[in-house]
Each structure stands twice: as C-alpha cells, then as structure tokens.
Amino acid sequence: MLLKHLVSDHEHMRRAGRIAAERFSLSGHDLQVLKQTNGMTADGRPIRLIDRIPSGTLLAVNLPDSIPKFVSLPYTVFEDSSLRVINKPAGLATMASSRGSGNSLEAEYTLAYGSFQPVNRLDKGTGGLMVCAATGHFQHVLSSDLHTDRFIREYIAVVEGDVSPSDGKIDLSIGRVPGSDNLRRIDSSGKPSVTYYHTVMRANHRTMLRLRLITGRTHQIRVHLAGIGHPICGDYLYGSALDSFPGTFALHSAFLFLTHPVSGDRLFFRSPVPSRFSELFNS
C-alpha cells in the first residue's frame, strides 16, 4: 500500500515517523515495519523515521498490502495491513463462550491470523459482513467511526406481516429485560435507539426490509421489529422459530460502507442475501 503526503508548513522539520503516524493513523507496529523494510522516502529518497522533513517535501510510505499469517479464512472477502472484512456464516457465534465450548469466529480467526479484534459484531443467528482490525490501533480508529457516515451497516430482513408505512424510522429506546443478561425489550427508560427501514418486497403476509442502524444496541433490529409488531421470521427470542432456519433467523448483514483508516478511501462491500430468504415468501 503506497501512501503519499505533501508535508505542510506546520509540519516543517518534524520527524518523518511522527508525520506519517499522524497523517496515516499508523501504529507503532506499522512504524517498525517501515523501519525494517526502509519503506519511507522523501522526494523519492530513502529516509529514516527520525529524519526531520522540510515543508513542501513529498513524503511516501510503502506498507505491505497484507499481513501473512497461518491460513486465510474461507469467508475473508478483503484484507490489508489495517483491516479484514469477514462474511460470517449464520449460525456461527462471533465470540467464544466463557466455557470455551463450541465453535466460534473468534476461535477460527485466532487460529488463522492471531489476535481477534472485531470492530462490530453479529448475533450468532445473523450472517453477513463484519469488520476485524489488524491491530489494536486500527480497532480503536475504526470503532470510533461506528454509527457515523464513515462506517455504515445495512441489513436485509424478512419479517412477519405487511409493514406499513413502506418506509420509516423506528425510534424506540431499548433496555434490558429484568433478570436476563441477554434479552432486551422496548423500554422508555432505556437507551435511545434508532433504525431506518425501506420495504424491498412483500408477499404472502411477509415483508423484506432493508435496514440501516443509526445506533448499535444489543439485538437492536430484532427488538425494534418485534416492537412494531413485525418480528423477524425465525427469530426464536423475539418471534417464533422456523424449522427452515434452525438456530438462525432471516436477518443478514448485506451492505457495508466504510472509510479506510489509512488511505481515507471509501470502501463498499456487499454480501448476497441467502436464497432461503426468498423462499419464505412461498411458505
């Protein structure tokens, strides 16, 4: 990954490593990689991290495009030195259980890459796109972007009933269910929670929705949709389980828009909606 920056007047004669770290959000590990690979130049001339750079100089940083580890996960759809985008299968838990039993994305990811540093998480029953940071530094940077226009997540869900109006905003606070660590409910004294939805199609008294999260509460989409009388098909906690969705439900993290923490490029990813979602309109 080649990154370039024209040193400004207020950066005049600052050390190259400091300019690069601030401009490109580089971690200490990234700087060590640059040091070991002689990956920095000033106007095309190799430089050291400690060299002071005058204004008007073109500073270039060349980081490896990927971080080789043991093996790639079969559902890694993008990776570079900052982040990885994962297309998590529905039914696979994101985090390992406290007992260490059962399979999880955390266990598989750790085996493949080392440390697991998720930026966002998905319920076990939800499949689709999520982001993992390559370092703790980038986890902090990307997590700061959550719930802003720099990091947008959109989901597809199939719900029970004919949703009306076709497009809308669900603005209902969410709180814990007393006596439960996991369950949530609509609660006027809970945390403010906002979800936007758009109808994609409807048939056979079911509706497919495209949803955008503005906040990120536990089970937010599931609780919001159940709260307006349209639980997600197969949602065994807030609706009714379906034999065709064992241990899962019709919610998929389908679209992801994010700003790259180093280059500033706008990235877009799409995960196809599982075919079994469409089959719900025939049952």
Query: Dihedrals φ, ψ of 157, to 5°?
Result: -135, 150
Q: What is the set of active-site residues?
A: 123
Beta bridge mates, 199: 209
Looking at the chain, which runs of residues are DSSP E strands? Answer: 2-6, 14-15, 40-42, 45-46, 52-53, 58-62, 76-79, 83-88, 127-133, 151-160, 167-171, 174-176, 184-186, 194-203, 206-213, 251-259, 266-270
Are the CB atoms for 55 and 12 separated by under 8 Å?
A: yes
Cβ-Cβ contacts under 8 Å for 24 (sequence gap 6 or more): 3, 5, 61, 262, 263
User: CA angle 111-116-120, nearest 5°?
Assistant: 135
Give how far Cα 151 sits from Cα of 119, 120, 133, 213, 236, Å. 10, 10, 13, 10, 29
Q: How many Å apart are CA 150 and CA 266, to the nearest integer? A: 8
Q: Is 45 exposed, middle or buried (0-12, 13-18, 19+ CB in 10 A)?
A: exposed
Of 81, 84, 109, 104, nearest to 94 by C-alpha is: 104
Residue 189: both structure tokens together? 């004294």
